[in-house]
């Protein structure tokens, strides 16, 4: 088939839009959607100036999503002195997996001339994920531990690095899966939090949208996901065509069983009803804004105190991370 834009050989048929695209037009379409998302979310605030720039920390794992995110953000903001990019990678201590993907991160950030920080669980918590999986004091999936540690590292280091925003490489498939999981679990509170934590547009920028904007969070660096309009497959193709150093091996501990089921379901739905991921997100965003209106804001702020052990914001005496670390030590 031929590209609908230029007549060259098509490399992708995007069933949800009906378009056939060649390599070049596919890459341009991906970049365009990221730029539009940055604009619509109001990521660049009015008060960012070359003298007082914003710092954006990018969660860079070395997988295709975060590599593509870093590359595109660099292209968009390279000439814009209002935005400074810092890449942050995490070493979980997973034999034969993370070393390789960190090499990809090094290569990319060297290429682009972006500051790159690496934080290891071993240094921060004195644990390695391989040992955590072995001990498993709570009888949980590896990712449940890993996610708690990751969130802790990301928020502490985002603060340490002076981050105004924390950007991650979640794509359309990831977000639609999360949306569906929140629906199916009936977790309206979580949907409201999702809006204020990463989905809702920022208020402090020129031409702020008339719809609801997110509440400012006192306890967390605000997050954003500029790739969330781009399907996973297109990100993979982008990484390949732009010859980016993305690492593709899966983590040996990956076993988010429920998400796996949702993934299968979503693939089937998308195949039979192209555009399902987009329509889920369109509806979810509207509902999330309403849920945030009803559930978000002051009440969720009130609950926060400080963890007795580490000072992290938590609604309990000890934060979840300290709980897990105590449980691991007791084994």
Which residues of the chain form contacts with Zn ion (CB under 5 A)? 3, 5-6, 8, 22, 25, 307, 309-310, 312, 319, 322
Residue 19 or 118 with smaller CB distance to ligand SF4: 118
146 binds, options ligand SF4, Zn ion, none, Cβ within 5 to 8 A by partner type: ligand SF4
At closest approach, how far in Å is the CB of 172 from ligand SF4? Answer: 19
For residues 5 and 22, is the Cβ–Cβ distance under 8 A? yes
Asked if residue 165 lies in contact with residue 43, where contact means CB atoms within 8 angstroms, the answer is: yes
| Closest CB 58 distance from Zn ion, rounded Å | 25
CA 51 to chain centre: 28
CB of 21 to Zn ion, least distance (A): 6
Is 243 annotated in a binding site? The answer is no
Residues in CB range of 150: below 8 A, 6 or more apart: 90, 92
- Residue 229 interacts, among Zn ion, ligand SF4, none and using kind-specific CB cut-offs from 5 to 8 Å, with none
Stretch that binds ligand SF4, among 117-125, 185-193, 249-257, 276-284 (CB under 6 A): 249-257
Q: Which residues touch 86 (CB under 8 Å, ≥6 apart)?
A: 55, 56, 57, 58, 114, 115, 116, 117, 161, 163
Neighbours of 103 (CB within 10 A): 13
Task: Render the burial of 58-87: b for 16+ CB within 10 Å, e for the rest.
Answer: bbbbbbbbbbbbbbbbbebbeeeeebbbbb
Among 35, 253, 259, 278, binds ligand SF4 (CB under 6 A): 253
Radius of gyration from C-alpha coordinates of the chain: 20
Closer residue to ligand SF4 in complex, CB, 128/323: 128
Nearest to residue 15, comparing CAs of 282, 269, 286? 269
Residues 43-102 that bind ligand SF4 (CB under 6 A): 92
Rounded least distance, CB 255 to ligand SF4, Å: 8
Closest approach of Zn ion to the CB of residue 312, in Å = 5
Determine if residue 208 is left, alpha or beta; phi over 0 gives left, psi from -120 to 50 gives alpha, anything else beta: beta
Residue 177 interacts with ligand SF4 (CB under 6 A): yes or no:
no
How far is residue 307's CA from residue 314's CA, in Å, rounded to a whole number? 6
Question: Taking CB within 5 to 8 Å according to partner kind, which of Zn ion, ligand SF4, none is near residue 203?
Answer: none
- Which residues, 6 or more positions from 123, have their beta carbon under 8 angstroms from its beta carbon? none
Beta strands in 161-242 (DSSP E): 165-167, 223-224
Q: Which residue in 45, 53, 137, 147 binds ligand SF4 (CB under 6 A)? A: 147
Q: Flag whether 42 is marked binding.
A: no
Minimum distance from CB of 103 to ligand SF4 (Å)? 16
- In the list 15, 184, 254, 282, the residue contacting ligand SF4 (rule: CB under 6 A) is 254
Tell me which residue of 60, 170, 165 sits closest to 117, measured CA to CA: 60
Binding ligand SF4 (rule: CB under 6 A), the pick from 129, 191, 239, 262 is 129
Q: Minimum CB separation from ligand SF4 for residue 98, in Å?
A: 8
Beta bridge partners of 117: 88
Contact 25, 3 (CB under 8 A): yes
Task: Give the whole-angstrom CA distance, residue 108 versus residue 326.
Answer: 37
Residues making up the annotated binding site for Zn(2+) are 3, 6, 22, 25, 307, 310, 319, 322
Residues making up the annotated binding site for ATP are 59-61, 65, 90, 169, 174
Residues interacting with ligand SF4, by CB under 6 A? 92, 129, 142-143, 146-147, 251, 253-254
């Amino acid at each position: 088939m031929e590209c609908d834009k230029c007549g060259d050989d098509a490399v992708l048929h995007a069933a949800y839009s009906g378009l056939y695209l060649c390599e070049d037009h596919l890459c341009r379409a991906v970049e365009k959607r990221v730029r539009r998302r940055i604009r619509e979310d109001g990521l660049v605030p009015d008060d960012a100036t070359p003298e007082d720039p914003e710092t954006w920390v990018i969660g860079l794992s070395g997988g295709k999503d975060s590599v593509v995110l870093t590359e595109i953000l660099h292209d968009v903001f390279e000439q814009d002195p209002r935005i400074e990019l810092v890449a942050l990678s995490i070493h979980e201590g997973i034999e034969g997996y993370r070393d390789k993907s960190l090499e990809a991160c090094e290569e990319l950030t060297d290429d682009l001339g972006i500051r790159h920080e690496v934080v290891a669980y071993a240094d921060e918590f004195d644990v390695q994920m391989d040992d955590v999986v072995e001990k498993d004091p709570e009888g949980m999936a590896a990712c449940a531990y890993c996610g708690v540690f990751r969130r802790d590292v990301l928020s502490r280091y985002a603060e340490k690095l002076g981050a105004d925003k924390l950007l991650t490489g979640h794509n359309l498939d990831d977000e639609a899966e999360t949306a569906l999981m929140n629906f199916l679990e009936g977790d309206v509170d979580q949907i409201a939090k999702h809006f204020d934590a990463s989905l809702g547009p920022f208020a402090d920028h020129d031409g702020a949208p008339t719809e609801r904007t997110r509440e400012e969070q006192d306890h967390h660096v605000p997050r954003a996901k500029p790739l969330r309009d781009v399907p996973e497959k297109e990100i993979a193709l982008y990484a390949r065509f732009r010859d980016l150093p993305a690492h593709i091996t899966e983590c040996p501990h990956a076993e988010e069983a429920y998400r796996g089921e949702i993934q299968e379901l979503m693939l089937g739905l998308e195949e039979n009803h192209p555009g399902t991921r987009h329509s889920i997100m369109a509806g979810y965003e509207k509902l999330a804004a309403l849920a945030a209106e009803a559930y978000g804001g002051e009440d969720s702020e009130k609950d926060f105190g400080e963890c007795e052990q580490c000072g992290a914001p938590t609604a309990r005496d000890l934060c979840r991370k300290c709980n897990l670390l105590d449980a691991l030590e007791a084994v």
